[in-house]
Structure 1
Amino acid sequence: MTKSATKIYILDTNILLHEPFAFLNFEEHDVFIPMTVLEELDAIKDRKKDVSRDARIAIRALEDALVDATPEQIAEGVDMSQYTADHGSTGKLAIYPDHLLNQKNLTLPGPENDNRIINAALHLQREKKPREVVLVTKDINMRLKAKGAGMNKVEDYRTDQLISDIKYLSTGYVEIDGSFWDKVTNCESKTEGRDAVHSVERSLFTQPVFINQYIFDSSHSFAGKVVAHDESKVELADIGYERLMGREAWGISPKNIHQAMALDALLDTSIDLVLLTGPAGSGKTLLALAAALEMIVEKGIYEKIIVTRNTPEIAESIGFLPGTEEEKMAPWLGAINDSLDFLHKHDECRDSSMKYIMEKANIQFKSVNFMRGRSIQNSIVILDECQNMTSSQLKTIITRAGEGTKLICCGNLAQIDSNYLSPLTSGLTYIVERFKDFEGSATIHIAGVMRSKLASFAEKNL
């Protein structure tokens, strides 16, 4: 491409905090980092929060990219194709000295960092004509301010967004109208032990097909799971609708087909990662805990349950709470205690039963902040409320899973508390899309609220 055909992207600080190597994802286009962004990264890097780690990584990445460049080259732009990291960037990286801009000619007054970055973008937009200059920020208010100040192109960072709309997120199943067998014209069946596997035409499905995706029909005559697929054929393990609905774990039976599919995936030891999405009250945590207790206490497949979740920012450092790590985490894991209480509500001595199960199943409460560097073996890890985690945080947890470990991630994308995440940029959305065709994982979106009529009405109408 000619020089005038390439664009100039100006990155806000939150882009580098969201993805420290983001400057390498703009292909043939040039990337400018205002000096104000470096100052903000420097101020953030020493904070005692997860975001400080991302700031330090971003600073080190920029230093590695510019380490051999002269001040003149850094101002003009250093060719990224020579950077040793594995990426496809062929543009240039420059540090823009926005602090040297003439204060009299600035569009937005004031010392605010957002205004300084917008002013730098506006100056480059005038200076670099006819090249297109784009300000990239995840701050919605900053995007509005920039547009109001005269910035022609302002964008969100979408490189890590694998889908354009949350409605396209994989649910983990396909429902076929009517009878499944009425739509099948060509089928080859074979028996593997007690199970039957059917090979049907790929054209039978209008949606994409993935490994471990569940298939069922509205007439309740068929339920199966994809075990293999190619461009022409799809192989389905025949589970049976009634057999699927008859699954049970720790006294819990599914109330609808979605819970039945979730329970089947949870109890399948060949599946190492189960991703459960759905509204509040759909039974995600309860099913995960019931399945975990069944496989540990009754079947002896795993050795312990580790329960963790992403704590709110105010509790990122849990040291201010009294007691051990598990006692510190207890306030944030009330959903697990509620589920345990529900599972043993009919016991004569509920408190004694819960205490016994806590010891028998070796249930441990852990903080996400202390999971780095660990290797977890022969365990079931339940990660609750993971819609509030970034993709890098979830990667940290998933890569801790050792041999014989099953990871269960539960989350509701409609209840994101993080200031920096949306349903499209949540780590839960990211891993659902990344793992949707991995033979060792299954995704189930549990539709319907089973908690109460009140909760169901509130979910639909509020």
Structure 2
Amino acid sequence: MTDIARKFYILDTNVLLHEPLALYSFQEHNVVIPMTVLEELDRIKDRQKDVSRDARVAIRSLEQLFQDATTEQISQGVEIDHKGVQLGGVISIFADHHASFIQESFSEDEPDNRIINAALYLQKSKAPAKVILVTKDINMRLKAKGAGLKFVEDYRTDQVIGDVDLLSKGYQKVEGQFWDNIKECETFNRGEDTYHQLKSEKILNPYANQYVIDEKNDFVGKVTEHFKDEVELLDIGYDRLMNQQAWGITPKNIYQGMAINALLDPKVDLVILTGPAGCGKTLLAVAAALELVIENKQYDKIIVTRNTPDIAENIGFLPGTEEEKMMPWLASVTDTLEVLHKNDNCSASSVKYIMDKANIQFKSVNFMRGRSIQNSFVLLDECQNLTASQLKTIITRCGEGTKIVCSGNLAQIDSNYLTPVTSGLTYIVERFKDFEGSANIYLNGVMRSRLAEFAEEHL
């Protein structure tokens, strides 16, 4: 590749915090790390936050690439070697501050400004080569474009889909009645269950544990096997689906019915629930957990955890044990327990009794690393605020006999560096959809109240 054809990618700090190994994602092109980025990574690596680990991973990766390089080679660039494989690209460190030759567009008081100034300098000095600033900071992208930088991009290498509207919902709806235009079908029984094997032309891109429904609510099936041109469906039936119960809770719509079916299925180890606020994600998950732990005795305990913004600082100021500190963050679960037992003579005593009987444990995400969780029902709430690597860390903690439920609302992302398409929740929905031990359901419709439903639609 010619020097002109090689692009220069200038990486912002937040890119390396989002994906520490992003250094290896730019193939045969030039990767430039401003000195300001190294300084920011140095400040972050010793914090008591989860991002400090990502900062350390990024620093170690850079050290490995530059360990044998001279000062001149570091500034000019060294070849990118990833696990012994030459990727064809070159990485360098650019001294972007205290350099009189840089034409300033902004004052150098802010790290972002120094990085933008460096990008503008490289755009001028490396012309006609293409210089691209890569950052996950939307405001920084706007500032850079306003200052005259021609090419500014988000880091998208980790995206599995281009638009969140393309995210798999866990089911597909067939127009009209399902059996219309089905010409060939082989029906057989396995035990008490009925299966249909038919041509897959009416079911587009089927995957394991995907539900199939029709507009008339006459048919509900679940994909159990799919071949090149055929698909095998378990015939569940609409009435059977809607009459399921989990701790006294019955589904209010077909989407909740599919969710309960997946939650109670012993063959499904991972259930992913997405949907708007008030659609019943937490209620159904908690009800299913109590049903499986107390009534069916399928699991020994329930572990509840969730992402907590600024957890490393704020959690330390709360009194009590780890579980007591987590209680404010997990109020949605305790509220759900109260709803499930609101008709008891003494609901407060019932909730306390159930929490002891089900051995419900509230844990911080920060303390999940290194654990091996056996024979447990794990509820991971608010997953939309987790990255793919954070979710991987938690899911890989699950050992034999453990079921994990990941729930979240992609419209309520609080992280500064995540969007619906880069959220870890989106990532696992797409990555696990072909895994026979997982199911995902988008719970369409707000069941909490008419007020919540109106707010979800109009605000």
Tell whether the structures are fold-level matches, with TM greater than 0.5.
Answer: yes
Match of 1:251 in 2: 248
The equivalences for 1:172-183 within 5 A come to: 172-183=170-181
2:388 corresponds to 1:388: no
Of 101, 107, 110, the match for 2:108:
110
Structure 2 vs 1, CA of residues 367 and 88 (structure 1 numbering), >3 Å: closer, same or farther?
farther
Partner AA of 1:37 in structure 2 = V
Q: Is the 8 A contact 1:24 1:88 kept in 2?
A: no
TM-fit CA distance, 1:185: 1.9
Listed one character per residue, the Cα deviations across residues 206-260 of structure 1 (whole Å, up to 9, x for unaligned) are: x432111000111122111111112211111111111111111110000000000
Whole-angstrom distance in 2 between the partners of 1:418 and 1:109? 27
Stretch moving more, 307-316 or 98-107: 98-107
SS of residue paired to 2:304: strand
TM-score, normalization by structure 2: 0.97
Partner AA of 2:399 in structure 1 = G
Of 444, 449, 453, the match for 1:447:
444
TM-score, normalization by structure 1: 0.97
Whole-angstrom distance in 1 between the partners of 2:362 and 2:392? 19
Whole-angstrom distance in 2 between the partners of 1:316 and 1:293? 32
Of 353, 356, 363, the match for 1:356:
353
TM-fit CA distance, 1:104: 6.7
Whole-angstrom distance in 2 between the partners of 1:260 and 1:177? 20
The equivalences for 1:173-252 within 5 A come to: 173-205=171-203, 207-252=204-249
Whole-angstrom distance in 2 between the partners of 1:188 and 1:278? 35
Structure richer in helix, relative to its length: 1
Whole-angstrom distance in 2 between the partners of 1:83 and 1:356? 54
Match of 2:34 in 1: 34
Partner AA of 1:143 in structure 2 = R
TM-fit CA distance, 1:189: 2.1
Listed one character per residue, the Cα deviations across residues 42-80 of structure 1 (whole Å, up to 9, x for unaligned) are: 111112211111111110111011111122211111111
Whole-angstrom distance in 2 between the partners of 1:316 and 1:376? 26
Listed one character per residue, the Cα deviations across residues 254-309 of structure 1 (whole Å, up to 9, x for unaligned) are: 00000000000000011000000011111100100100111111111100000011
Whole-angstrom distance in 1 between the partners of 2:96 and 2:431? 38
Whole-angstrom distance in 2 between the partners of 1:184 and 1:445? 27
Partner AA of 1:13 in structure 2 = T
Match of 2:57 in 1: 57
Q: Is the 8 A contact 1:25 1:89 kept in 2?
A: no
TM-fit CA distance, 1:2: 2.7
Q: Is the 8 A contact 1:79 1:92 kept in 2?
A: yes
Whole-angstrom distance in 2 between the partners of 1:314 and 1:392? 18
Q: Is the 8 A contact 2:102 2:118 kept in 1?
A: no
Q: Is the 8 A contact 1:20 1:57 kept in 2?
A: yes
SS of residue paired to 1:124: helix
Q: Is the 8 A contact 2:48 2:312 kept in 1?
A: no
Match of 2:124 in 1: 126
Whole-angstrom distance in 1 between the partners of 2:355 and 2:317? 25
Of 269, 275, 282, the match for 1:285:
282
TM-fit CA distance, 1:392: 1.3
Partner AA of 1:381 in structure 2 = V
Whole-angstrom distance in 2 between the partners of 1:8 and 1:183? 55
Partner AA of 1:181 in structure 2 = W
Q: Is the 8 A contact 1:48 1:317 kept in 2?
A: no
Match of 1:77 in 2: 77
Of 168, 192, 196, the match for 1:170:
168
Structure 2 vs 1, CA of residues 138 and 251 (structure 1 numbering), >3 Å: closer, same or farther?
same
Match of 1:98 in 2: 96
Q: Is the 8 A contact 1:25 1:88 kept in 2?
A: no
Whole-angstrom distance in 2 between the partners of 1:448 and 1:116? 47
Listed one character per residue, the Cα deviations across residues 5-60 of structure 1 (whole Å, up to 9, x for unaligned) are: 22110000110011111010011111010111101111111122111111111101
Whole-angstrom distance in 2 between the partners of 1:148 and 1:28? 29
Stretch moving more, 102-111 or 276-285: 102-111
SS of residue paired to 2:4: helix
Q: Is the 8 A contact 1:250 1:294 kept in 2?
A: yes
Whole-angstrom distance in 2 between the partners of 1:280 and 1:261? 18
Q: Is the 8 A contact 1:173 1:444 kept in 2?
A: yes
Partner AA of 2:425 in structure 1 = L
Of all paired residues, the percent bearing the same amino acid is 64
Q: Is the 8 A contact 1:135 1:154 kept in 2?
A: yes
Q: Is the 8 A contact 1:316 1:369 kept in 2?
A: no
Match of 1:307 in 2: 304
Match of 1:45 in 2: 45
TM-fit CA distance, 1:100: 5.1
Whole-angstrom distance in 1 between the partners of 2:88 and 2:193? 52
Listed one character per residue, the Cα deviations across residues 395-431 of structure 1 (whole Å, up to 9, x for unaligned) are: 1110100000000011011111122211111111111
TM-fit CA distance, 1:103: 5.5
Whole-angstrom distance in 1 between the partners of 2:102 and 2:392? 47
Q: Is the 8 A contact 1:276 1:443 kept in 2?
A: yes
The equivalences for 1:124-163 within 5 A come to: 124-163=122-161
Instruction: Count matched residues.
Output: 459
Whole-angstrom distance in 2 between the partners of 1:89 and 1:262? 44
Whole-angstrom distance in 1 between the partners of 2:103 and 2:352? 69
